Structure 1
Amino acid sequence: MKFDDILYSLGEFGRYQKRLYLLLCLPAISVGCFMMGLVLTMETPKHRCKILSYPNDTYEVQSAYHQHLINLTIPRSDDETLDYSRCYMYTRTGAENSKPANSTEEKCNEWVYDTSVFESTFTSKMNLVCDDALLTSHAKMIFYFGVLVGDLGFGVLADIIGRKKALYVTFVILLAAAFGICWAPEFISFVILEFIIGAANHGAFMICCVLGLEMVGPSKRVWAGIIIHAFFAIGLLYLAGAGYFLRDGQYISIAVAVPCVFYLTYWWFVPESPRWLISQGRQPEAERIIRKAAKVNKVNIDSKLLKFSNEDNESTEGRIWHLFSHRVMLVRTLVLFFNWAIVSMMYYGVTMHAGNMGGDFYLNFFLLAVVEFPAYALCIILLDRIGRKKLHCSFMVLGGLACLSTIFPVLFGDKSLQPVTLTLAILGKIGSAGAFGVVYVFSAELFPTVVRNAGMGACSCVARVGGMLAPYVASSGDLVGGKFGQALPLVIFGATSVTAGLLCLLLPETLNKKLPETVEDGVKFGRTPDKQKKEYDVSSSTKL
């Protein structure tokens, strides 16, 4: 029997699978914390140059005299959203309380930071501002590059040594790096540890997704594939709470690292994937796990069902270049790649931009996290009703138009319209979160069986490229400055999201369709016989 046939008898989502699935969802909470943790630990507080003969223990102006001293010491900013320059001060060579005629501007090398939002972050500790400001984006990019490496490396490792062992390896590495980064002494060691965390963290997430889905019956996999992302959102809520109550980057990192200790117990609670054991010819071990699951589910398994077939585990995979072997496959693959990159960039970038939208930082971050739950609920409700293509396009266009619309309250409004800007950003986050849930299902169904794993792996890698671009887009507003700079990141996210959403209309619908098995099936999938015949006639005449 094929393993899916065994699951029908065992129960597609029985008590055993529910318990296992819950255990595999819990690490997604930590994944959410780590994936967005740098938004808090590397937040750049408001800052100004440190002034001699001035009480620099606080960023706030303490008296009219101190305000007068600042006016004489720090030049006005060219950025209309700032009162003073953050990086330059006057060189005073004359009287203490008057600006000398021959004073010049020079870069400062000491700063005073606003502690109203964060008492301390890694950015403020290392003074990663002014000329070094771009280092914060570099650190985030290196983290997401680690995510890409982890997806590839630990995915291969899981296929070689098994899901359980590979998962435990990621947990051990993650625990060590997560605690190590809490006391990183300088920038180089910090980004190296962030790279390791990115690799181990998302490597664990991918293995949890695979291991969970391999134990769930076919009719429950769409549901199970989306619910785990809701646990990711719970992690964002946990991160928001840790930031609000702790207000220190180091303590926040410790709060995120501590739950990783619990995952070391998974060795005794999470079994190896029976599918993987069968593919490795280790049927007796797989049988023991299946019989244990049957006992927990209170069902009886016929011994005839345990005469396994390796038919669905045999090497029938295509190669990555088969995705580009035909014009139709090429177009569809590129459209999916573009959508994965933009969804990822927008999803992470909108949250990274939370500190630049005005208003309360923690409220912004909290709201951008909590709105993911209705987004995933909409996915579950609508995915099998209106179809994958229409739903994905709707999410992308909705989120994109909302982000684009932020340019109006930012450029033509004042601080009183900040709630409007936040609301539009929230709609953008709903769109990107919902699209993330749909694109997983849509892509897996659209790729032919023989290249499905290769296609999904390639899409995941492309998504990481979008994640690596997100911090640069989110910080692009700081480089431009002014009100337009405040709106620029959301405008970029919005324009690319609308474009990607409209392009997906070129793809065929997969709802209630027999999915393609071979590359030839993939080429024919969703195309009318007339289009197929026309292409055949063109190709034949070309040969003549």
Structure 2
Amino acid sequence: MTKVKNPKLQNPIEKHFNEITRYHYYFYFLIFTSKIPIFWHVLSLIFLSPPVDYHCNVTGVKNVNSTKNVCPCDEPLWDRSMFSETMQTKFGLYCARIWLISFSQSMMYVGLLVGALVFGFLSDRYGRRSMFSMSCLILAVSGCLVSAMPTAAAYTLMRSIEGIGTGGAIITSYVFCIEYTGVRHREIVTALFHIPLNISHLTLPGISYLLRHCDEFQLALSIPVFFYIGMQWMVMESPKWLMDSDRIDESVVVMEKFASFIGTSRENIRNQIKEYHANHSPKARRRIKIWHVFCHKKLGLNFFYMSVIYFLCGMGYYGVSQYIGKMSGDIHVNVAISGAMLLPGTIAAVFLLKLLNRRTFLMSTIFLSGLFMIIVICVPFHYNWGRVLIACICNCFFFVSFIIVFLFGVELFPTSIRNSVLGILSVISRVGQITAPSINALSENASGAVFGVLALVGTLFCFLLPETKDTELPSSLDDTKILTRGKPQLVEDGQVMQNIATSSTE
């Protein structure tokens, strides 16, 4: 049996990050602002291919309305009163070719799947910082090239590459951010991390309002991303990833630079990190691979439960967003209103994540999402404003559920596979997102019932998860074994590390 010398020794990196410092403000500012242009690309198709009417140029027909949006049509005259150029007008997508619009968006989602999965693996292998910069490079270049594509096929291909960069940037930036955050502030940072998404949702209609040409609009979304390629040189690599990857000297260098930046002593940093590393058994330090998730019952079950919840959150949030999008009115106003409705939930999450346990909070938000969706379908159609308001509340709860599961997933899995697991979970979430349009193709009440019932069922899977509030980010498989469905003890009392020591000696 292997003995642990000092089971009460706290992770020195987590300890240094328990206080928000000048470097954290600088680091968070860069990460948070990067989310605004990145998420513009997720929502951009709303304004790249909005509904555009056309009249068929038929000689001898006096009633213009009789030729509106008719098929077949050889010479469409597009209504350019709202947008000067869109995907439809640029590539002639109407009648038999109209399917290319939804296909291009599906390919964008496929790119998001691939990007989240591939960059999840790559960032676990090569680091958070370099893979985030690489994702931004792919996104910025492909985003600009989208506007120069001469055919619909080339446009769709480039959109899928744009999706790869977007998916990679989303998944790597969040884990990068959380690994620079200590236990005390992890909930607040997670909630604040999603506010730039709301800002992105709110500002996108304004950009479209100013730039009515799809190519100009696309360039405006893509050019700002070039700035964030420089993150490779503007911030330091995650010291927790370096330490858990057995790159101790590099981890020490990062923490010494961090101490110099904030003006604290750097004398004992090397000894603290080496002592902590040495006091973990070889078994505890062993870097597990992604397939080991399925070799350990508890880890595998947690992964399965989170997969179901990620699927439901993706399907529910994007599905109900599309459900609300059926409202009539100005497209710019509608999108701005739907984005503004998410802000109250995000702000509330800042405080509730500190007060409530992860499992309790997630169960509550998913249950309320389903409950409000069921209420929507019970309200008579002639109270349309009431149905819309309740659906917006439902969507807000789905969005808050997304905030919680992002943090929950990070806290459930060890460092060596954390990004890989989140990449797979993001893929599953995107699969849920892709299924949402098919559900919305049903009648309004039928689609609402599907969203509501599935959310209520998802509450059960939340109950089966262990609690992770106030625990250090797990570095090894043994760290994950101590998690239970009850509220864990605070890491400061040393008992958690004692449990790890006991597990390591068995």
Please give the range of the TM-score, normalised by the shorter of the 2 chains: 0.7 to 0.9
Instruction: Specify the alignment match of 2:27 in structure 1.
Output: 20
Distance 2:240 2:472 in 1: 23
Q: Do residues 34 (structure 1) and 66 (structure 2) align?
A: no
Q: Which residues in structure 2 correspond to 1:174-193 (within 5 Å)? A: 174-193=139-158
Change in 2 beyond 3 A, CA 1:255/1:408:
farther
Distance 1:145 1:26 in 2: 25
Q: In the TM superposition, what is the alpha-carbon distance from 1:404 to its structure 2 partner?
A: 4.3
Q: Do residues 360 (structure 1) and 330 (structure 2) align?
A: yes
Instruction: Specify the alignment match of 2:220 in structure 1.
Output: 255
- 3-state SS of the aligned residue for 1:412? coil
Change in 2 beyond 3 A, CA 1:180/1:164:
same
Change in 2 beyond 3 A, CA 1:165/1:511:
closer
Change in 2 beyond 3 A, CA 1:200/1:370:
same
- Contact 2:109 2:163 survives alignment (8 Å): yes
Change in 2 beyond 3 A, CA 1:319/1:199:
closer
| Long gaps (5+) in structure 1 | 55-65, 75-83, 89-106, 478-483, 528-544
- Contact 2:311 2:430 survives alignment (8 Å): yes
Q: In the TM superposition, what is the alpha-carbon distance from 1:168 to its structure 2 partner?
A: 2.3
- Contact 2:288 2:477 survives alignment (8 Å): no
Instruction: Specify the alignment match of 2:407 in structure 1.
Output: 441
Instruction: Specify the alignment match of 1:8 in structure 2.
Output: 15
Q: In the TM superposition, what is the alpha-carbon distance from 1:11 to its structure 2 partner?
A: 5.5
Instruction: Specify the alignment match of 2:291 in structure 1.
Output: 320
Q: What are the superposed Cα offsets for residues 409-464 of structure 1, whole Å, 9 maximum, x if unpaired?
A: 6x732xxx553343233213201110001112334445578976654343222112
Distance 2:479 2:264 in 1: 41
**1:314 counterpart letter in structure 2:** R
Distance 1:473 1:348 in 2: 11
Q: Which residues in structure 2 correspond to 1:8-87 (within 5 Å)? A: 8-9=15-16, 12-47=19-54, 49-53=56-60, 66=62, 69-70=63-64, 73=66, 86-87=69-70
Q: Which residues in structure 2 correspond to 1:222-301 (within 5 Å)? A: 222-279=187-244, 282-301=247-266
Q: In the TM superposition, what is the alpha-carbon distance from 1:199 to its structure 2 partner?
A: 1.0
Distance 2:269 2:483 in 1: 38
Instruction: Specify the alignment match of 1:494 in structure 2.
Output: 452
Greater mean alpha carbon deviation, residues 504-513 or residues 169-178: 504-513
- Contact 1:508 1:525 survives alignment (8 Å): yes
Distance 1:511 1:286 in 2: 26
| Long gaps (5+) in structure 2 | 1-5, 487-506
**1:171 counterpart letter in structure 2:** C
Change in 2 beyond 3 A, CA 1:218/1:264:
same
Change in 2 beyond 3 A, CA 1:284/1:167:
same
Distance 2:479 2:231 in 1: 42
Change in 2 beyond 3 A, CA 1:337/1:157:
closer
Q: In the TM superposition, what is the alpha-carbon distance from 1:193 to its structure 2 partner?
A: 1.1
Q: In the TM superposition, what is the alpha-carbon distance from 1:349 to its structure 2 partner?
A: 3.2
Distance 1:17 1:473 in 2: 42
Distance 2:290 2:146 in 1: 38
**1:371 counterpart letter in structure 2:** M
Report the TM-score, using the length of structure 1 for normalisation: 0.76
Q: In the TM superposition, what is the alpha-carbon distance from 1:188 to its structure 2 partner?
A: 1.3
Q: In the TM superposition, what is the alpha-carbon distance from 1:408 to its structure 2 partner?
A: 5.8
Q: What is the count of residue pairs matched by the alignment?
A: 473
Change in 2 beyond 3 A, CA 1:40/1:112:
same
Distance 2:423 2:303 in 1: 12
Instruction: Specify the alignment match of 1:95 in structure 2.
Output: none
Q: In the TM superposition, what is the alpha-carbon distance from 1:178 to its structure 2 partner?
A: 0.8
Instruction: Specify the alignment match of 2:499 in structure 1.
Output: none
- Larger Rg belongs to: 1
Greater mean alpha carbon deviation, residues 277-286 or residues 239-248: 277-286
Q: Do residues 163 (structure 1) and 170 (structure 2) align?
A: no
Q: Which residues in structure 2 correspond to 1:62-141 (within 5 Å)? A: 66=62, 69-70=63-64, 73=66, 86-88=69-71, 107-141=72-106
- 3-state SS of the aligned residue for 1:183? coil
Distance 1:521 1:111 in 2: 61
Distance 1:275 1:523 in 2: 20
Instruction: Specify the alignment match of 1:202 in structure 2.
Output: 167
Q: What are the superposed Cα offsets for residues 459-507 of structure 1, whole Å, 9 maximum, x if unpaired?
A: 2221121233334445x26xxxxxx4x6665554334333323543344
- 3-state SS of the aligned residue for 2:265? coil
Please report the RMSD computed on the Cα atoms of aligned residues, expressed in angstroms: 3.5
- Contact 1:396 1:500 survives alignment (8 Å): yes
**1:390 counterpart letter in structure 2:** T
Distance 2:103 2:320 in 1: 18
Choose the corresponding residue for 1:373, options 335, 338, 343: 343
Change in 2 beyond 3 A, CA 1:143/1:267:
same
- Contact 1:401 1:498 survives alignment (8 Å): yes
Instruction: Specify the alignment match of 1:383 in structure 2.
Output: 353
Choose the corresponding residue for 1:463, options 405, 423, 429: 429
Instruction: Specify the alignment match of 1:57 in structure 2.
Output: none
- Contact 2:47 2:208 survives alignment (8 Å): yes
Distance 2:79 2:324 in 1: 17
Greater mean alpha carbon deviation, residues 3-12 or residues 173-182: 3-12
Instruction: Specify the alignment match of 1:505 in structure 2.
Output: 463
Q: In the TM superposition, what is the alpha-carbon distance from 1:256 to its structure 2 partner?
A: 0.6
Distance 1:360 1:33 in 2: 19
- Contact 2:114 2:164 survives alignment (8 Å): yes
- Contact 1:323 1:451 survives alignment (8 Å): no
Q: In the TM superposition, what is the alpha-carbon distance from 1:182 to its structure 2 partner?
A: 1.4
Instruction: Specify the alignment match of 1:392 in structure 2.
Output: 362
**1:337 counterpart letter in structure 2:** S
- Compare relative contact order (CA 8 Å, sep 6+) and give the higher one, 1 or 2: 2
Greater mean alpha carbon deviation, residues 215-224 or residues 280-289: 280-289
Distance 1:352 1:361 in 2: 13
Instruction: Specify the alignment match of 2:491 in structure 1.
Output: none
- 3-state SS of the aligned residue for 2:20? coil
Q: In the TM superposition, what is the alpha-carbon distance from 1:116 to its structure 2 partner?
A: 4.9
Distance 1:523 1:509 in 2: 10
Identical pairs, percent:
25
Distance 1:366 1:422 in 2: 15
**1:526 counterpart letter in structure 2:** R
Q: In the TM superposition, what is the alpha-carbon distance from 1:390 to its structure 2 partner?
A: 3.0
Distance 1:206 1:250 in 2: 27
- 3-state SS of the aligned residue for 2:50? coil
- 3-state SS of the aligned residue for 2:396? helix
- Contact 1:317 1:453 survives alignment (8 Å): no
